[in-house]
Chain A
């Protein structure tokens, strides 16, 4: 029998993308809270239109049944819930929106956009350590972190990522197709290193062989790591 020639499997590429969503934060009594929503909708019917919405249930303790009813009441008002936050997974039945975690606060202005937003700086500076469970997402450009990135934390950048500390969590650079993005850190103990969707996991990063600063870049389809010295 002849040898079978198989096409080399293509490596899977991951793409991250972030959106700003409105977060509803119901409080008891729910009836009063829904009345407030109605008031807002009466005053400006288009206020929530077409915007993704998340329901944060951390301030209330609702049964699975009650959560279903709340989601239904919101849908009756034309409000589609994309995900639910702040509740145990066991409270969500399969037909409810999925559980979300790790959201970050963003400032959303109440007024309708009037003029085009001013051009944003293409770099984001984080002056503290990024802790487990936190994520920093900046699709517009580079992220610089003055401090370490903990195990369980996540950095997602459209451009390069600079960590002035130990990188223990996950770093994804060049998420919008930037093949030349790089990741730099003082010390690597990372859980995941990715550039434009090509990645290496902790098992594929021999942290012990890099004592000092390193850089990570993309060579063809291979994520390369080399010491910076």
Chain B
């Protein structure tokens, strides 16, 4: 049975698009047929993270408007044959996306894919509501800081009330993904602890992704981080998260500070 998964957060810039691409690629590598759908109309960048920006001809809105059909708009990833992208429009015509139009496309995607992963825009306005509207499951992306946690809390409330599932008296299954977890700042007490975050959000944990240069390096070359360097710390964390989405029980480990040269230097300077 196909699953519609929304990647959402409330707050902007916390790592939704990065996580959509990384989880999508990881699931595709595990043999699942995956489409990632960009809901960030006017600010599309999922195509950039996937290195497909020059291949976008038709987009989501074109399909809703009936200008193109779905198969014309879907872009197949060059490296992973199981991974597809439905790009967002670069134009600012947000109103073109209607509840019914999106619902129809999602229903069609359900017949073709195992996973439909919706990359939500930031905020709690219409675009974010549309991205979550038809979800079966949700990945709530949170950075360990107060404003991000509060926004995630609001988004969880909306997942519980504004989705089709919620309106039918069912529940969207929610997963908490903590991203940009900086071990150094955590050690210095500059971020909320993982315990604080899970305490406030009371949502099962999907994974903790460390803050890492590997993420930037990967997006600069148009690769999901799980593909670019599968052994890097964020790639391994995302791959484990994807396995948990598939139902595997893997304990979530809090990333520990590396006792590298930099750390020792910084430690000495701080002393």
Contact = CB atoms under 8 A, between A and B. Distances in A.
User: Which of under 10, 10 to 19, 20 to 34, or 35 or more describes the interface residues of A?
Assistant: 10 to 19
A128 B161 CA distance: 12
Interface stretch (B17-25, B150-158, B216-224, B247-255): B150-158
> Chain B interface secondary structure, helix, strand, loop or mixed?
helix
Interface string A125-148: 000110111100000000000011
A41 interface: no
A131 B160 contact: yes
B153 A150 contact: yes
A85 to B, nearest CB: 12
Given A148-B202, A151-B150, A152-B150, A132 B157 contact: yes
A58 interface: yes
Given A151-B150, A152-B150, A131 B157 contact: yes
Contacts of B157: 131-134
B176 to A, nearest CB: 13
A168 interface: yes
Contact of A58 (B129, B153, B160, B161): B129
A150 B199 CA distance: 10
A131 B95 contact: no
Contacts of A61: 94-95, 126
A127 to B, nearest CB: 12
Contacts of A134: 157
Nearest to A28: B95
B200 interface: yes
B61 to A, nearest CB: 14
Interface residues of B, number: 18
A50 B156 CA distance: 36
Contacts of A60: 95
B160 A128 contact: yes
Contacts of A132: 150-151, 153-154, 157
Nearest to B157: A131
Interface string B65-101: 0000000000000000000000000000011000100
B103 to A, nearest CB: 14
B68 to A, nearest CB: 22
A61 B42 CA distance: 15
A118 to B, nearest CB: 23
Nearest to B153: A132
Contacts of A59: 99, 126
A6 B200 CA distance: 45
B126 A131 contact: no
A134 B157 CA distance: 7
Contact of A152 (B95, B99, B154, B161): B154
Nearest to B155: A131
A51 B154 CA distance: 30
| Best-buried of B126, B153, B200 by chain A (most CB within 10 Å) | B153
B167 to A, nearest CB: 10
A181 to B, nearest CB: 26
Nearest to A148: B202
A152 B126 CA distance: 21
Nearest to A128: B160
B142 to A, nearest CB: 13
Contacts of A147: 202
A114 to B, nearest CB: 28
Interface of B: 94-95, 99, 124-126, 129, 150-151, 153-154, 156-157, 160-161, 199-200, 202
19 contacts: A58-B126, A60-B95, A61-B94, A61-B95, A131-B154, A131-B156, A131-B157, A132-B150, A132-B153, A132-B157, A133-B124, A133-B154, A148-B202, A150-B153, A151-B150, A151-B153, A151-B200, A152-B150, A166-B199
Q: Which 9 A-B pairs have the closest CB atoms?
A: A131-B157, A132-B153, A133-B154, A132-B154, A150-B153, A131-B153, A134-B157, A61-B95, A132-B150
